[in-house]
Amino acid sequence: MQELLVLHHVTVAYTTMDGIKPVIRDLSLKIKEGEAIALIGQNGCGKSTLAHILSGLTPISRGTLKINPSIQNNIQIVFQNPDAQIIGDTVYEDVCFGLENYCVDPKDIPIRALRALSAVGLRSAANRPVEFLSGGQKQLLCIADALALDAQVIIFDEVTAMLDPLSRKAILQMVNHLLNRGKTVLWITQLLEEVGHFARVLALQSGELVFDGTPEDFFFSDHIPENTPCSKLGFVPPFSVQLAHQLLQLGVLSDERPILMTALKDAVEKQCQSI
């Protein structure tokens, strides 16, 4: 798979009243076509800043960012705060706004807008004024805006924070669908149980990339839970991972490394069947 985004020793610093404050420190990273990446880290560690660098919204102070020409103007970001990106008066107008800005053929706009709204469950709210939407519905609308533009790379910045469990599940299924269509997804989250939906996990700490690997290695690289990168870096693993570690220690599981609750259930069922 070709490299789409390459960060080479990137530093971003802001001038504050206390002097120059680096928020991304000497970070190198390659993102390839079709990758499914979860980005985690505590509040203020620089996740959104990294997302803004990758989407060209934040200039870098030092280092380089190479964007593959095939994705120039084809990276979309869904922001943490939906009010920061909603422009239209109605739900339908908001999706159309982005399409018009990207000079999409006017005859294709209604089809693409309504298809994107259907994908997030807002088709029936197309004519509703945006101020009548709940916070979670506004977030779904922002996701529809990005879907309508059919971007090659989509960055989701903590988009499930305001969503109920069913909407969260639906969005994660939609992300899976995007990945199956070859899209590249960077999923920023504070919810470690979501990491199991992705193939690669990046962890940031004070602007530094402190882990880059598979979720399995992040949660299970050592059979002692306290020695895994997850615990050593101060993250609390999701309940399913904590339970899996206990079952591994008890010998109920042998070498499985389930992260999602569904995977844990499957692993336990398999063991039960073999008894």
Q: Which residues bind ligand ATP (CB under 6 A)?
A: 14, 16, 23, 41, 43-49, 80
DSSP three-state, residue 156: strand
* Of 190 and 214, CB closest to ligand ATP: 190
- Residue pair 37/31 in contact by the 8 Å Cβ criterion: yes
209: closest CA among 1, 29, 5? 29
Rounded to the nearest whole angstrom, what is the least distance from the CB of residue 168 to ligand ATP in the complex? 17
* Of 25 and 168, CB closest to ligand ATP: 25
In DSSP notation, 89-141 reads SBHHHHHHHHHHHTT--TTTHHHHHHHHHHHTT-GGGTTSBGGGS-HHHHHHH
Residue in the block written with tokens 């669908």: 177
Rounded to the nearest whole angstrom, what is the least distance from the CB of residue 108 to ligand ATP in the complex? 35
* Of 16 and 273, CB closest to ligand ATP: 16
Rounded to the nearest whole angstrom, what is the least distance from the CB of residue 128 to ligand ATP in the complex? 28
Start-to-end Cα distance in the chain: 42
The CA-atom distances, in angstroms, between 55 and each of 89, 158, 160, 172, 231 are: 26, 16, 20, 21, 31
* Of 46 and 98, CB closest to ligand ATP: 46
* Of 35 and 158, CB closest to ligand ATP: 158
Rounded to the nearest whole angstrom, what is the least distance from the CB of residue 120 to ligand ATP in the complex? 22
Rounded to the nearest whole angstrom, what is the least distance from the CB of residue 51 to ligand ATP in the complex? 8
